[in-house]
Structure 1
């Protein structure tokens, strides 16, 4: 099982390294998402193109790779804590992708996909917090940060064995948002205009 676990960690990282924003932009002959807006290869920045279907496809692709990694770990009979580590590997792949010189996205959608399979109630809490925060402030980064932090108490109470890998996942996502956090504190973070 140790060999399977280690191989799956590597596979999850490589799966996470696939950037759906970059891939879909190339397929649709759109600008590279790393060259405009927030320069982040994620669904929010793809929405800045004004192409909602492309943004939705990016969101689903990024969520799907996190969900797939954990689902595969479950199908192979790995313990829940091992599934969580595999999910973390997928998120790290998204944030530091091998295929794109380790310049990836923020990891929020991939993390959401991980949670969806690992603990759907935690994913539901994160989604509700994200929607609530976004409805109030129209700021994707603030909504994402709030959703990440909201997951931690739930996991600590209901799934303490998953606390370390999930906390590390949240930490990676928070660190990837450090520039956004600075702008939020300064009061000049971008809001979405629909």
Structure 2
């Protein structure tokens, strides 16, 4: 097998493994282990950190957040260590994010992807990750509405990526577009004034 063919096979394998890593739904596993209701059928019915917080409290939510962040961080860091070019690395991050949204292990019923996307950004570039995270945290603190933080942060994410790492912009734009689409119901609730706040 030629070096080019080996490189192609390695890249395809990395993309598949990233998707499979993203498909490990931390929220569902945490809720099962801790004896909590399935987040897909309780609360907001979203298997993510915010809903786990509502269902099971801070400890369960903290574990879920850490797991979802790592699903984005680990595949990207491994890809960087392997010496892949930045466009392939951003594609690997995108596939990890897609795994979270559409997990093959859990009937393709995934979350909205905020924590996993943040993990991808942090591993791509600490500067990008910290700026987007700061936007999310600031908007959440100001409004006490999780979705507002996510929406503002990921409208800005492609712009910030373009400024710091333009070769990764396509993957980040794809993540942001899908993440915002997953927040369609939240955007509608915000417009109608019905979106839930954290006390």
TM-score class, shorter-chain normalisation, is: over 0.9
Give deviations 1:90-130, integer Å, cap 9, x for gaps. Answer: 00000011111111000010001101110111111111111
Q: Kindly indicate whether residue 70 of structure 2 is the aligned counterpart of residue 70 of structure 1.
A: no
**Alignment deviations for residues 114-162 of structure 1 (CA, whole Å, 9 cap, x no partner):** 0111011111111111111111111001111111112222111221111
1:113 to 104, 119, 131: 119
Residue 190 of structure 1: how far off its partner (Å): 1.0
CA distance in 2, matches of 1:190, 1:59: 20
Partner Cα distance (2:87, 2:161) in 1: 12
The equivalences for 1:12-161 within 5 A come to: 12-161=18-167
How many residue pairs get aligned? The number is 193
Structure 2 residue runs without a partner (length 5+): 1-6
TM-score where L is the length of structure 1: 0.96
Q: In structure 1, what is the equivalent of residue 14 of structure 2?
A: 8
Question: Which one has the largest radius of gyration?
Answer: 2
TM-fit CA distance, 1:50: 4.4
Is this contact kept in 1: 2:23–2:100, CA < 8 A? yes
Q: TM-score, normalised by structure 2?
A: 0.94
SS at 1:32's partner residue? coil
CA RMSD of aligned residues (A): 1.0
Partner residue of 2:3? Answer: none
Instruction: State the 4+ residue runs in structure 1 displaced beyond 4 angstroms.
Output: none
Report Cα offsets for 1:47-95 as digits up to 9, x if no partner: 1024211100000000001101101111221111111100000000000
